[in-house]
Chain A
């Protein structure tokens, strides 16, 4: 396994963790509805710290190792259109995911409501577009 493959493995593994965080947040949304938690579903929110951890570690891992990969590979540059698009999508996903995580932490503590379904959708769509961008690499 050379350096490039090691970086790619960690980058992709981080992406899996981030998507796992998204799936867990969508699972919470399904279980609790977009409003207050339904009776009997509150216990599921004990998994919220795990989801937030996956999202944070995965998100940081994808951007750090993704940028490292772009620098490492001679055929890619940080100013390539698809790399810039990925960074913009990452920022959008992070902003939405951050709000979703804060919402579930507040709901779990009983101090607030979860983020709206639209914020969940924005996070999920941004992550899906990121995957499409990574595979199609428009302009590469």
Chain B
């Protein structure tokens, strides 16, 4: 006997916000981290400044807004699915990764913004802030991969 398991229709729109926002955010993080990694490797100062600026703008104008869409969708779903008592472990993993991820994302954006500003004034200047920002983004991507695992396998 097979049992058809479908979630209520009212969950679908917040789920689209949550999953779609998360997918777009991960793409933005990979794009920004890639641009910052290229900036760290290039030997042409003008290229480094341009790539760092692109990485910063991607974080500020794309990664943070998509994070907010993902997080709003998550909270909306949570209010429909759970009442705050006896949350399963995977919900906790989601909260930990998203809340700590927000902190890392904000710090990474600020550091990259400072690097972009400094390189905009003097492209010849050497700065490690962009590299630190790229490292934080790489850490974020690892933690979000764990979140994807938790959201799909739902360990109890």
By a beta-carbon cutoff of 8 Å, the part of chain A in contact with chain B is 1, 5-6, 8-9, 12-13, 15-16, 19-24, 27, 31, 40-41, 43-44, 46-47, 50, 54, 74-75, 128, 131-132, 135-137, 140
Contacts and interface: CB of A to CB of B under 8 A. Distances in A.
Given A8-B153, A19-B23, A44-B54, A75 B2 contact: yes
B51 A43 contact: yes
A65 B5 CA distance: 20
B23 A15 contact: yes
Interface stretch (B78-86, B125-133, B144-152): B144-152
- Main DSSP-derived SS at the A contact region: helix
Given A43-B47, A47-B34, A135-B15, 9 more contacts: A9-B152, A12-B148, A20-B27, A20-B30, A23-B27, A41-B50, A43-B51, A44-B38, A47-B31
A113 B128 CA distance: 35
A9 B38 contact: no
Contact of A20 (B5, B26, B38, B149): B26
